[in-house]
């Protein structure tokens, strides 16, 4: 197989782009580095395409390795024909390679193998080749052998039938046809084991759908219902057509002694051996596809969450709500430093509301708090009402926002949190994290396992290794897109930078603690274990504010410093002009970019990136994202009425719609059919993303069931 051609066709890119990307990956370059600093080489392939290319490259190379081992194994057995070799070499999936290898794979002691050990293979050949010239009972008599436990003609014929059944099952062409027709024409059905049981799977109690139309979220829901032993799930195939197909392939002549036996063998082979294996393979394939889709959605949601714009320069009160143990508060200054912590008890059972208001009011005055970040967990609603009342009473200009606290408890009990806040208890750490994730969502959320952030669907039911790898890739992309301040970034943030391992991230922090702040990017080469290759990969993503070289505060890579200085000199500027923002119109001063790029000895794409960065040095891509909604008053579900139009924040996007926070503590669902009437929506992500601010209309409210149906078609 030509892997480059395959990648080109699958990803819709040019062969030279695929070839260049593979070469760069093989040389040890990371995806963020290739996407940002090797655009000339790859023709500007973005990080999403590069990650897809990397995944497919691994799969295709694994496929080639599998083909080689299969060919070697069959050749050792002396059974490799020219036709079989060609079939294996041209196979495009691991499933097909496995089908072709099945007859030659060493087998466990099956019924057929035992029958062969009893010497019944010649009898099986007589039946399969339809050569019998007398009743099979007479043919079978010569195979009786008490020593081999073949005592009756019935046992001999049954053994021969087992051998034929396995041979039919092992035939790759049959399996390929049956898998295809089962998938194209088959149905998936589910039924409930206990009809009286109430569960979230009620829509699947008597469910039937074509396999070709089955949505990913339904596959995952069926799997979960089956795993919880609530549902029975099975695939219904066009059995009559499949049996007729096998009969036409196998019964090539009418023989009064073998035809009926072969029909029985074919049915046994299909029902006992082929159908269960095909069902497992199809369901496994559907699950894998559904998981890939769910992981993609989770990744997109996570990216939007991580890329929420930071709220800088404000003193924030982090509020971790609770009932019995009280609400933990932490005041955090504009740099993320914790100034104060306290526990208040405004909620049940203590209900010390007035005391809590007084304490919070004093904190607001003392520290100049302008924003309150409230976790959306237990007692969040009660806390929100107290905060809204208090802000009115003290006439404060402070506002509040409900933040997704998913993962805060995981972080607060972690070793990392213990090292960061050794003198705080779990609640205080959680409150500090809730405050900080508003000030800089990316810097705070990278401390938490991405799976714990809670913006996906069925994430606990899928391949955890694949999920972790995909989400880690998303975090890596986000961190490198934004870049980090080399002098303030935590080790947990630094480890996501291109080329930086956990050990090197810790070494950077250690170097900073021992030698003071970095003043030059080249100092990174003094960090233990950070060699030239790691420096090449990471340097452009590390920022140094007020360092020796103004270019260190930009995303211009050190490898381009020389040409950047020549460019500035040609236009009568110096690197010092970067600091004072004199270069905002730099691009307009270059009349012929092609000529300038040629003169500098670089590509036009690289020149464009350098100009863009010099015009807005250290720009934060998150600034282009929608700002969060800050609130001063509270709304309750009972306040909602049909037809009411509100602004809300998209909290989660799933296959069948989006959940929107409209400020009533219960997110409302905008079904996929209610996202827009301007175009067909294949997936909600085509219309909305996590963090989007959207205008919605209330369609219905069920207070007892805590359900809110919304529409974006106004």
Q: What is the pLDDT of residues 384-413, one digit of tens each?
A: 999 999 999 988 889 999 888 888 888 999
pLDDT, averaged across the chain: 93
- Quote the pLDDT of residue 163: 97
458 pLDDT higher than 80: no
Q: Which fold has domain 502-623?
A: DNA polymerase; domain 1 (1.10.150)
- Quote the pLDDT of residue 632: 82
- Quote the pLDDT of residue 348: 92
Q: pLDDT by residue (tens digit) across 459-479?
A: 777 888 898 999 999 999 999
Mind spelling out the 3-state secondary structure of 589-612?
HCCCHHHHHHHHCCCHHHHHHHHH
Report the distance separating Cα 392 and Cα 399, nearest Å: 11
- Among 497, 608, 617, which Cα is nearest to 551's? 617
135 or 454, greater pLDDT: 135
Report the distance separating Cα 460 and Cα 579, nearest Å: 48
Identify the H or E element spanning 319.
strand 316-320
Q: Which fold has domain 112-295?
A: Tex N-terminal region-like (1.10.3500)
**Domain ranges for the chain:** 3-104, 112-295, 316-439, 502-623, 637-711
Structure tokens at 27: 């040389």
Whether 215 and 204 have beta carbons less than 8 Å apart is answered as no
The full length of the chain comes to 714
- Among 697, 631, 689, which Cα is nearest to 668's? 697
455 pLDDT higher than 70: no
Q: Which fold has domain 637-711?
A: OB fold (Dihydrolipoamide Acetyltransferase, E2P) (2.40.50)
Whether 683 and 655 have beta carbons less than 8 Å apart is answered as yes
Helix axes 15-26, 3-11, angle to 10 degrees: 120
Report the distance separating Cα 369 and Cα 366, nearest Å: 8
Q: Which residue has the tokens 């790759």?
A: 172
Q: Which residue has the tokens 């081999």?
A: 148
518 pLDDT higher than 70: yes
Report the distance separating Cα 172 and Cα 169, nearest Å: 8
Dihedral angle at the C-alpha atoms of 536, 540, 542, 545, nearest 10 degrees? 130
Structure tokens at 431: 């409150």
Q: pLDDT by residue (tens digit) across 336-391?
A: 999 999 999 999 999 999 999 999 999 999 999 999 999 988 898 899 999 999 99
Rounded to the nearest 5 degrees, what angle is found at the Cα of 699, between the Cα atoms of 673 and 453? 65
Identify the H or E element spanning 444.
helix 441-445
- Quote the pLDDT of residue 454: 66
Q: Which fold has domain 316-439?
A: Nucleotidyltransferase; domain 5 (3.30.420)
Cis amide linkage into residue 500, ω under 30° from 0: no
Cβ-based neighbour number of residue 8 at 10 Å: 18
Whether 425 and 375 have beta carbons less than 8 Å apart is answered as no
Q: Which residue has the tokens 């509040």?
A: 400
* Non-local CB neighbours of 440 within 8 Å, separated by 6+ positions: 310, 312, 336
- Quote the pLDDT of residue 377: 84
- Quote the pLDDT of residue 162: 97
Helices (H), 449-494: 464-482, 491-494
286 or 108, greater pLDDT: 286
Report the distance separating Cα 710 and Cα 696, nearest Å: 6
- Residue 535 banded pLDDT, cuts 50, 70, 90: very high
Structure tokens at 32: 């963020």
Report the distance separating Cα 595 and Cα 425, nearest Å: 62
Of 11-25, 453-467, 503-517, 591-605, the least confident: 453-467
- Quote the pLDDT of residue 408: 83
Q: pLDDT by residue (tens digit) across 550-572?
A: 999 999 999 999 999 999 999 99
CA distances from 217 to 244, 462, 652 (A): 35, 12, 14
Q: pLDDT by residue (tens digit) across 292-308?
A: 999 999 999 999 989 99
Report the distance separating Cα 505 and Cα 338, nearest Å: 23
User: Residue range 642-653: average pLDDT?
Assistant: 91
Structure tokens at 137: 């009972």
- Among 412, 327, 329, 428, which Cα is nearest to 378's? 327
Architecture of domain 3-104: Orthogonal Bundle (1.10)
* Non-local CB neighbours of 681 within 8 Å, separated by 6+ positions: 672, 673, 675, 687
Cβ-based neighbour number of residue 585 at 10 Å: 8
Does the fold of domain 637-711 match that of domain 502-623? no
- Residue 272 banded pLDDT, cuts 50, 70, 90: very high
- Quote the pLDDT of residue 456: 67
Burial of 557 (0-12, 13-18, 19+ CB in 10 A): buried
């Amino acid at each position: 197989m030509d892997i480059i051609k395959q990648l080109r066709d699958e990803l819709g890119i040019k062969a030279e782009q695929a070839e260049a990307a593979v070469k760069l990956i093989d040389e040890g370059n990371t995806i963020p580095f290739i996407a940002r600093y090797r655009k000339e080489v790859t023709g500007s392939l973005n990080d999403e395409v590069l990650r897809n290319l990397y995944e497919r490259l691994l799969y295709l190379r694994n496929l080639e390795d599998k083909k080689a081992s299969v060919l070697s194994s069959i050749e050792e057995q002396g059974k490799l024909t020219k036709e079989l070799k060609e079939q294996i070499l041209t196979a495009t999936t691991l499933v097909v390679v496995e089908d072709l290898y099945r007859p030659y794979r060493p087998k466990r002691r099956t019924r057929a193998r035992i029958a062969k050990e009893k010497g019944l293979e010649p009898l099986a050949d007589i039946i399969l080749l339809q050569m019998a010239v007398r009743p099979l009972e007479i043919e079978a008599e010569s195979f009786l052998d008490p020593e081999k436990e073949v005592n009756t003609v019935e046992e001999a014929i049954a053994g021969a039938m087992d051998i034929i059944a396995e041979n039919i099952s092992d035939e790759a062409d049959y399996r390929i046809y049956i898998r295809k027709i089962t998938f194209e024409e088959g149905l998936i059905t589910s039924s409930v084991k206990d009809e009286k049981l109430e569960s979230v799977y009620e829509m699947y109690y008597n469910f039937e759908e074509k396999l070709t139309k089955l949505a990913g979220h339904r596959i995952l829901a069926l799997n979960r219902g089956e795993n919880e032993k609530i549902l029975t799930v099975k695939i219904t195939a066009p059995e009559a057509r499949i049996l007729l197909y096998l009969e036409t392939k196998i019964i090539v002549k009418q023989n009064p002694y073998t035809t009926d036996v072969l029909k029985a063998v074919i049915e046994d082979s299909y029902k006992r051996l082929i159908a269960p294996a095909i069902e497992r393979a199809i369901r496994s394939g559907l699950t894998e596809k559904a998981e890939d889709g769910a992981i993609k959605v989770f990744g997109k949601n996570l990216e939007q969450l991580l890329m929420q714009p930071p709220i800088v320069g404000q003193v924030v009160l982090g509020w971790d709500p609770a009932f019995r143990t009280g609400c933990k508060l932490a005041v955090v200054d504009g740099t993320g430093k914790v100034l104060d912590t306290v526990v208040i008890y405004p909620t049940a059972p203590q209900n010390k509301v007035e005391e809590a208001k007084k304490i919070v009011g004093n904190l607001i005055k003392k520290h100049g708090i302008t924003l309150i970040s409230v976790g959306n967990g237990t007692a969040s609603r009660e806390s929100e009402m107290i905060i809204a009342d208090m802000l009115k009473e003290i006439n404060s200009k402070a506002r509040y926002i409900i933040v997704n606290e998913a993962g805060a408890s995981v972080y607060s009990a972690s070793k990392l949190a213990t090292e960061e806040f050794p003198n705080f208890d779990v609640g205080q750490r959680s409150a500090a994290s809730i405050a900080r994730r508003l000030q800089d969502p990316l810097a705070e959320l990278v401390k938490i396992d991405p799976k714990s952030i809670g913006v996906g669907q069925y994430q606990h039911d899928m391949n955890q290794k694949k999920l972790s790898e995909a989400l880690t890739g998303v975090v890596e992309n986000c961190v490198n897109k934004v870049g980090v301040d080399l002098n303030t970034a935590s080790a947990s943030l630094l480890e996501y930078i291109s080329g930086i391992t956990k050990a090197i991230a810790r070494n950077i922090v250690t170097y900073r603690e021992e030698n003071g702040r970095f003043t030059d990017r080249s100092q990174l080469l003094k960090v233990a274990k950070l060699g030239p290759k790691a420096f090449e990969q990471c340097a452009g993503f590390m920022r140094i504010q007020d360092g020796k070289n103004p270019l260190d505060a930009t995303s211009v890579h050190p490898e381009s410093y020389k040409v950047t200085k020549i460019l500035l000199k040609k236009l009568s500027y110096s690197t010092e002009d970067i600091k004072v923002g004199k270069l905002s119109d730099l691009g307009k001063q270059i009349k012929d970019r092609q000529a300038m790029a040629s003169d500098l000895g670089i590509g036009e794409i690289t020149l464009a990136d350098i100009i863009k960065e010099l015009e807005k040095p250290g720009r934060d891509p998150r600034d282009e994202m929608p700002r969060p909604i800050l609130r001063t008053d509270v709304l309750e579900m009972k306040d909602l009425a049909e037809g009411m139009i509100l602004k809300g924040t998209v909290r989660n996007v799933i296959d069948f719609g989006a959940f929107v926070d409209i400020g009533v503590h219960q997110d409302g669902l905008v079904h996929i059919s209610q996202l827009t009437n301007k175009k067909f929506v294949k997936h909600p992500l085509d219309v909305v993303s996590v963090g989007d601010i959207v205008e919605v209309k209330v369609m219905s409210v069920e207070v007892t069931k805590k359900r809110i149906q919304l529409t974006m078609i106004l």
